[in-house]
Amino acid sequence: MSGYTGTLLDRYRQRVYEAVSQPGDPAGPEVKSMKISQPKAYKGQDNIDIFDEWVNQILRWFRIYKVTGPIRDGDRVMYAGACLEDLAGQWFDQEVESPDRTIRHWTFEDLVCALFVRFIHEASAQNAAEKYNKTRYSSERGALAFYNDMRRRAARMVQPLDDYSMRRKFINGLPLSLAEGVVKARGISVEHSAMEQILAEVQKMESALKMISNHSRTQAVKSSFRGTGAGVPAKEKSSPENSGNGHKYFRRGNVLYKKALSNARQQQTDGQRPGTRDAGRGTYNRGGGASGKVRGTFSWKGMFQLR
């Protein structure tokens, strides 16, 4: 076993000890009524991220249901076996429950370490350093997710990173507008500011930039609507040019609309200059001969498309 694997196993042992070593009160009826589903099964994948997530889920499940303390260690081993499938499940049947097993009495801590040694190859585990270097900021997930990814991947590296290196990578990994904002406007310094302060100020600046971006996008949409006339209702004016045959015609953009007049409005416009639509030729006659015709295409839905 290499020093790298030994370091990771020590961390898993410490994590298990801190999570479930101390006994707790029995789970009350309110906990049992929650009916929390058990962790997703680990299937023996050679992937430290999947294995790490399985360990976290099962430890959380043990704490919720009070499967803690030395006296419940045997129960933890059995419950863990129920959360193993495929290659990992076969290994558990052979190494933990089989009458021919080599180790007669297993602890949960030893079980976690044995699963790691059996299924996580050292080359896969050592990819943590490479994954850490490739950690990138995502505008969709935000600064907090970026920082959490950094911490999680740094924790799997053989040589723990110092705080300065973490702060430097975090600031350098931010978009230029965000990094400049916190450094110039907030007075943040990689050398002198704590990581908690840097993260808090970056989140505030991130929220402010998003609000500005949303406001600019809204204004741009409004400007485009004003430029095209879309969504702006045209005033309907009763005039000799747009009334006739019991209908009123009004224009929006390059479209001529037709609207039926009430009896009172019809009587009011009967004495005015006629304006008729020639449906057969696709024209609208405003009166006064051929020069009063506006050529276009008439739609039976009540609109006249000008040419």
The answer to whether 263 and 249 have CB atoms below 8 angstroms apart is: no
The pLDDT-based confidence of 126 (bands split at 50, 70, 90) is low
Q: Does the pLDDT of residue 8 top 50, yes or no?
A: yes
Residue 132: its pLDDT value, please? 85
Tokens of 22: 């101390």
Express each pLDDT in 61-109 by its tens digit: 999 888 999 999 999 999 999 999 999 999 999 999 999 999 999 999 9
Query: Average per-residue pLDDT in the chain?
Result: 78
Residue 290: its pLDDT value, please? 44
pTM: 0.57
Sign of the C-alpha dihedral, residues 23, 26, 30, 35?
A: positive
Residue 91: its pLDDT value, please? 96
Determine the average pLDDT of the residues in 218-241: 58
Task: Report how far residue 128's alpha carbon sits from residue 151's, in angstroms, rounded to the nearest whole number.
Answer: 11
Alpha helices (H) along the chain: 3-20, 29-32, 48-64, 73-82, 86-92, 108-119, 122-125, 127-133, 142-154, 163-172, 176-180, 195-228, 263-269
Residue 293: its pLDDT value, please? 44
Calculate the alpha carbon distances from 224 to 219, 228, 231, 268 in Å.
Answer: 9, 6, 10, 39
Q: Does the pLDDT of residue 260 top 70, yes or no?
A: no
Express each pLDDT in 177-226 by its tens digit: 888 888 888 888 888 899 999 999 999 998 888 888 887 888 777 777 66
* b (16+ CB within 10 A) / e for 124-147: ebbbbbebbeebebeeeeebeebb
Tokens of 192: 């002198």
Determine the average pLDDT of the residues in 109-130: 85
Q: By CB neighbour count within 10 A (0-12 exposed, 13-18 middle, 19+ buried), where does 275 fall?
A: buried
Q: Does the pLDDT of residue 291 top 60, yes or no?
A: no
pLDDT higher at 23 or 242? 23
Residue 40: its pLDDT value, please? 92
